[in-house]
Structure 1
């Protein structure tokens, strides 16, 4: 039989007991350490010990087990994941109860049966590994939470539409009200959901994000509600769903407008009853999570057309938060552009500090179908290809298929000409030759007009 990778520490003042226990266990575990002096326990715990088999009494004539309880306490303080099993020839119920209260896992009487000794120690090894794994997971979760807080994007904007959204967010964030965030793709729905969580009383607990738009219908229940072992072919163990993982925190259901009607009914039941039932199980489990939803769809129109349940909408939209598209936030375009420039310049180690006047004008005249996400992408690309200390017009790459020209709002010839020149330059990413050809001008004539209008 293959030995299990584990370290077992045997502590007893009787060398015969140590020898007997070592002989009994060495065929099952890779590393058996013995000591007849409990004062050496601390140094031996410097290596990773899975189980300590600890005698209760070390002084002749004393059988009260106090020494064993003392060393038990020392072990649990130094290595809380280590399993401690106490052994004595003088068992009593009260002593066993005291030992368990102070952290012992089990209690064995001398002399023991070898099979029983192996069974108890083997269970102790599994328990130690489980505790160690949980500690590692908690450490990872703490690190992820730390990174989550550090990576938070601040909400940037000076426009009235954005200020209104931020004010409403600040009012509702400290509450547990369900929130529905509405806005086009790329308007910052995730950033707002994250900021709501960080400004809430749940900020020290998990923020669980799930993109319902990319979730297969067949995985909906198992992903959100979890599943029991054996619920389906690959269900090898009981598994928590996203609602349970969000315990004490926030669950962010992104693209909720994509859920089909038959699954909307199941989600409604969970939100109403605040309980979930894992797939393949008949046990109701309470949930404790604040629910934030988001969609880029016209969800009210969907409701009118019977594509979205009215009762579900009223459950998730206690507060509706509307995020304006970037084209309606003219004051924020350059603020965001400069923020992204600073971030990307640092990322790519480029000495780019500013955005040129021509590039700024182009950014302001573009209609931003992809909103903030598109702006970030364009600035990142411009940062990478720029050869100067400022982003130039030719560094910007707009989507020509989605580019809309600005219609002149005046009949003034100079203003009209200036607008058409801007549109031509934007369309051809600053290429003078192509822009001049588009306008029916020579390169020299276009340069003269650029100088005339200080463009």
Structure 2
């Protein structure tokens, strides 16, 4: 049998009441503390937290107005607004006790009390105290989690005119509740901009819920976004809150929205227009208070094609449009980005930070970066690991020729890197190398479109990113 838990304080000037209360309640609670002087209440509350306080309405002979009880009730609630106070009153003082409840008391018991009723009353109010404590803890935890989830994993770096224009739009749009559509190639930092929009918004203290629509399968779309009720389909073993409801009061970031099929676009549009959602298997409408930020790597002309994207949904999403420039169009930012990532990976791998030679920096600035900032980051990580000179040199970076990309240079390859024209050894059955080659071919074939490459490889975008990190791509 488990030990009784909970802590009760009894405040009364009648020693018989204190003794009877303690004898009764110590069988049900771990600690029962008695006090015959209400002046000691602040000191007792400073030392410990009570699950419930039994407080007499009157102290001293001849007192019957209840004013002393009102006074100490007020002091207790000043010290702890969430305190659970049960008033003790004589039979004739029920009206006074009801008045005390209007002033913040949780309940009252009349004396002489019935033991069963006193125990039942305390059991109820102690559960209320625990629920309040759990709710307050959960609220604080959610606030911390929201801050952690919203905080960008890396800073937005860039002082070029192109990036200043972007940040100007962000600064003006963020404080509003206007929906924002972020356009840009893979690796340009669309999620960072989304997080910055949320961080500068009036919803910044609430959660930013991210949904990668490129990774959500069609048959799970409604369950993931709208939630479901237990038993609504075969694997629905319990109720589940959807991402839309979870984002209530905050921001919903719909990444890779261009990958959403037309028939699912219609369902999303209905929810955004009505501002309410029904979980799968339920007819109950849940009101939504969300700010929507969406992102896609599809070019604008594709979005304007009615065969690819619903125009009514596009109008709903792009109240404000932010177009992120590819890295090749903001070459002035490459030195700052390169130095930032070099310093980051030097710290990560315990290496000394070193400078870039002029030739190396020129090579980085001249390259087309088909994978944009993500590709630059991976290039810097490899260079930090493999470079053996006192400064970063051109040969530390594997910059393959990209003839169809503007602003690129013919590759500056590491000596060990095989040329594109080299034949592949068909007898090499090493799984690691086979996997790397398959990923490289899929990326190049799909012009570094992560979603398309992942689909061709039979992977989710998240799984492809993990494998790219694994192989240093």
Q: Into which bin does the TM-score normalised by the smaller protein fall?
A: 0.7 to 0.9
1:404 maps to 2:405: no
Q: SS at 2:214's partner residue?
A: helix
TM-score, normalization: structure 2?
0.75
Partners of 2:207 and 2:272 in 1: CA distance: 18
Within-5 A mapping of 1:105-184: 105-144=106-145, 147=148, 151=152, 153-184=154-185
- Shift in alpha-carbon separation, 1:181–1:408, aligned structure 2, 3 A: closer
The CA distance in 1 between the partners of 2:345 and 2:374, in whole Å, is 14
RMSD between superposed Cα atoms in Å = 3.6
2:301 is the counterpart of 1:304: no
Asked whether the equivalents of residues 151 and 195 of structure 2 are also in contact (C-alpha less than 8 Å), the reply is no
Q: Given that residues 352 and 391 in structure 1 are in contact (C-alpha distance below 8 angstroms), is that contact kept between their aligned partners in structure 2?
A: no
Deviation digits for residues 171-192 of structure 1 (CA, Å, limit 9, x no counterpart): 3223322111122221111111
For 1:107 and 1:121, the matched residues in 2 are separated by 10
Do the aligned partners of 2:82 and 2:132 also contact (CA within 8 Å) in 1?
Answer: yes
Write the distance in 2 (CA, Å) between the matches of 1:331 and 1:194: 24
Aligned residue for 2:191, secondary structure, equals: helix
CA distance in 2, matches of 1:229, 1:32: 43
Per the alignment, in what secondary structure is the counterpart of residue 6 of structure 2?
A: strand
Distance 2:333 2:368 in 1: 13
* Alignment partner, residue 196 of structure 1: 197
Counterpart Cα distance in 1 of 2:20 and 2:262 = 67
Q: How does 1:58-137 map to 2 (within 5 A)?
A: 58-90=59-91, 92=93, 95-137=96-138
Kept after mapping to 2: 8 A contact 1:365/1:406: no
Look up the SS of the partner of 1:59 in the other structure. Answer: coil
* Aligned equivalent of 2:376: 375
**Aligned-pair distance for 1:292?**
0.6
Indicate the SS of the match to 1:214: coil
Residue 366 (structure 1) shift: 3.5
Contact residue 86 and residue 106 of structure 1 kept, 8 A: yes
Q: In structure 1, what is the equivalent of residue 214 of structure 2? A: 213
Matches within 5 A, 1:222-233: 222-226=223-227
The Cα offsets for residues 153-179 of structure 1, whole Å up to 9 and x where unpaired, read as: 443234444343333333322332211
Structure 1 counterpart SS, 2:5: strand
Greater Cα shift, 139-148 or 321-330: 139-148
3-state SS of paired residue (1:321): strand
Query: Superposed, which structure 2 residues align to 1:210-359 within 5 Å?
Result: 210-217=211-218, 219-226=220-227, 240-298=241-299, 301=302, 304=305, 306-348=307-349, 350-359=351-360
Paired with 1:407 and 1:209, the residues of 2 have a C-alpha distance of 33
Structure 1 residues 122, 290: CA separation in 2 closer, same or farther (over 3 Å shift)? Answer: same
Say which SS state the counterpart of residue 390 (structure 1) adopts. coil
Cα distance in 1, alignment partners of residues 139 and 178 from structure 2: 28
CA change 1:41–1:187 in 2 (3 A) is same
**Equivalents in 1 of 2:108, 2:231: separation in Å?**
35
Residues 384-441 of structure 1, C-alpha deviations (whole Å, 9 max, x = no match): 455565333454356xxxx3255999xxxxxxxxx9xx745x22x256x989xx9xxx
In 2, distance between residues paired with 1:351 and 1:137? Answer: 43
Give the secondary structure class of the aligned counterpart of 2:13: coil
What secondary structure is seen at the aligned counterpart in 1 of 2:108?
strand
**Distance in 1 separating the partners of 2:276 and 2:394:** 55
C-alpha distance in structure 2 between counterparts of 1:21 and 1:218, whole Å = 60
Q: Give the drift of 1:353.
A: 4.3
Structure 1 residue 288: Cα displacement = 1.9
Unaligned 5+ segments in structure 1 are 410-418, 439-455
Distance 1:115 1:259 in 2: 61
With 264-273 and 205-214 compared, the bigger mean Cα shift is at 205-214
Whole-angstrom CA distance in 2 between matches of 1:423 and 1:380: 21
Specify whether residues 307 and 97 from structure 1 end up closer, same or farther in structure 2 by C-alpha distance, changes over 3 A only. Answer: farther
Given that 1:299 and 1:308 are in contact with CA atoms closer than 8 Å, whether structure 2 keeps it comes out as no
Residue in 2 aligned with 1:31?
A: 31
- Taking a change above 3 Å as real, the CA distance of residues 134 and 230 of structure 1, as seen in their structure-2 partners, is farther
- CA 1:240/1:150 → structure 2, altered by over 3 Å: closer, same or farther? closer
Where do 5+ consecutive residues of structure 2 fail to align?
Answer: 423-473
Shift of 1:248: 3.6
How big is the shift at 1:298?
4.7
1:94 and 1:214 map into 2 onto residues whose CA distance is: 62
Classify the secondary structure of the residue corresponding to 1:201: coil
Aligned to 1:22: 22
- Give the deviation of 1:8 after TM superposition: 2.0
Measured after TM superposition, the shift of residue 280 of structure 1 is 4.5
* Aligned residue pair count: 418
